Structure 1
Amino acid sequence: MSRRRAAIVGIGVMAPGGTGREAFWDLITSGKTATRTISLFDASGFRSRVAAECDFDAAELGLGVREIRRMDRAAQLAVLSAREAVADAGNALDGISPHRIGVSIGSAVGCTMRLEDEYVVLSDRGRQWEVDPAYAVPHLYDYMVPSTLACEVAWSCGAEGPVALISTGCTSGVDAIGHGVRLIEQGSADVVIAGATDAPISPITVACFDAIRATSPNNADPEHASRPFDLHRDGFVLGEGSAVFVLAEEERARRDGMRVYATVAGFATRSNAYHMTGLRPDGREMAEAIRHAMAEACIAPQDIGYVNAHGSGTKQNDRHETSAVKTSLGEHARRVPMSSIKSMIGHSLGSIGAIETAACALTIDRGLVPPTANLHTPDPECDLDYVPLTAREQKTDVVLSVASGFGGFQSAMVLTRPGRLP
Structure 2
Amino acid sequence: MMGARKAVITGIGVVAPGGIGRVAFWDLLTAGRTATRPLTLFDATRFRSRIAAECEFDPIAAGLTAEEAETKDRACQFALVSADEAMADSGLDFQALAPERLGVVVGSAVGCTMRLEEGYLVVSQGGEQWLVDESQAPPGLYDYLVPSSIARDVAWRCGAEGPVSMISTGCTSGLDAVGHAAQLIEDGSADVIVAGATDAPISPISVACFDAIKATSPNNGDPEHASRPFDRRRDGFVIGEGAAIFVLEEAEAAARRGAHVYSEIAGFASRGNAFHMTGLRPDGREMAEAITVALRRAGLAPEDVDYINAHGSGTKQNDRHETAAFKAGLGQRAHEVPVSSIKSMVGHSLGAIGSIEIAACALAVEHGMVPPTANLEQDDAACDLDYVPKKARKHQVDVALTVGSGFGGFQSAMVLRRAERQET
List aligned pairs for 1:57-68, cutoff 5 A: 57-68=58-69
Alpha-carbon separation, structure 1, partners of 2:114 and 2:231: 32
Partner of 2:273: 272
Cα deviations across residues 46-68 of structure 1 (Å, max 9, x unaligned)? Answer: 00000000001111121111112
CA-CA distance at 1:302 after TM superposition: 0.8
List aligned pairs for 1:264-413, cutoff 5 A: 264-413=265-414
Alpha-carbon separation, structure 2, partners of 1:326 and 1:29: 26
Alpha-carbon separation, structure 2, partners of 1:114 and 1:238: 18
Aligned residue pairs total 421
Is the CA contact 1:272–1:285 (under 8 Å) kept in the aligned structure 2? yes
- Partner SS for 2:15: strand
List aligned pairs for 1:13-412, cutoff 5 A: 13-91=14-92, 93=94, 95-412=96-413
Cα deviations across residues 284-307 of structure 1 (Å, max 9, x unaligned)? Answer: 000000000000001111110000
Moved over 6 A (4+): none
Cα deviations across residues 127-170 of structure 1 (Å, max 9, x unaligned)? Answer: 21211111111111000000001011111111111100000000
Alpha-carbon separation, structure 2, partners of 1:57 and 1:320: 38
Is the CA contact 1:170–1:349 (under 8 Å) kept in the aligned structure 2? yes
Cα deviations across residues 261-295 of structure 1 (Å, max 9, x unaligned)? Answer: 00000000000011000000000000000000000
- Partner SS for 1:207: helix
Is the CA contact 1:263–1:416 (under 8 Å) kept in the aligned structure 2? yes
- Partner SS for 1:120: helix
Cα deviations across residues 279-336 of structure 1 (Å, max 9, x unaligned)? Answer: 0000000000000000000111111000000000000000000000001110111000
CA-CA distance at 1:420 after TM superposition: 7.4
- Partner SS for 1:267: strand
Question: What letter matches 1:163 in structure 2?
Answer: V
Alpha-carbon separation, structure 2, partners of 1:43 and 1:275: 29
Alpha-carbon separation, structure 1, partners of 2:197 and 2:283: 29
Question: What letter matches 2:349 in structure 1?
Answer: S
- Partner SS for 1:365: helix
Question: What letter matches 1:318 in structure 2?
Answer: D
TM-score (norm 2): 0.98
- Partner SS for 1:138: coil
- Partner SS for 2:404: strand
CA-CA distance at 1:406 after TM superposition: 0.3
RMSD: 1.0
Alpha-carbon separation, structure 2, partners of 1:148 and 1:188: 22
Cα deviations across residues 3-42 of structure 1 (Å, max 9, x unaligned)? Answer: 1000000000000001111000000111110000100000
Is the CA contact 2:101–2:162 (under 8 Å) kept in the aligned structure 1? yes
Unaligned runs of 5+ in 2: none
CA-CA distance at 1:238 after TM superposition: 0.1
CA-CA distance at 1:95 after TM superposition: 3.5
Unaligned runs of 5+ in 1: none
Alpha-carbon separation, structure 2, partners of 1:214 and 1:162: 36
Alpha-carbon separation, structure 2, partners of 1:127 and 1:95: 52
CA-CA distance at 1:91 after TM superposition: 2.4
- Partner SS for 1:239: coil
CA-CA distance at 1:94 after TM superposition: 6.2
Alpha-carbon separation, structure 2, partners of 1:356 and 1:135: 40
TM-score (norm 1): 0.99
Is the CA contact 2:105–2:164 (under 8 Å) kept in the aligned structure 1? yes
1:414 aligns with 2:412: no
- Partner SS for 1:238: coil
Question: What letter matches 1:265 in structure 2?
Answer: A
Cα deviations across residues 180-211 of structure 1 (Å, max 9, x unaligned)? Answer: 00110011101000000000000000000000
Question: What letter matches 2:108 in structure 1?
Answer: S
Is the CA contact 1:92–1:248 (under 8 Å) kept in the aligned structure 2? no
Question: What letter matches 2:415 in structure 1?
Answer: V
Is the CA contact 2:111–2:144 (under 8 Å) kept in the aligned structure 1? yes
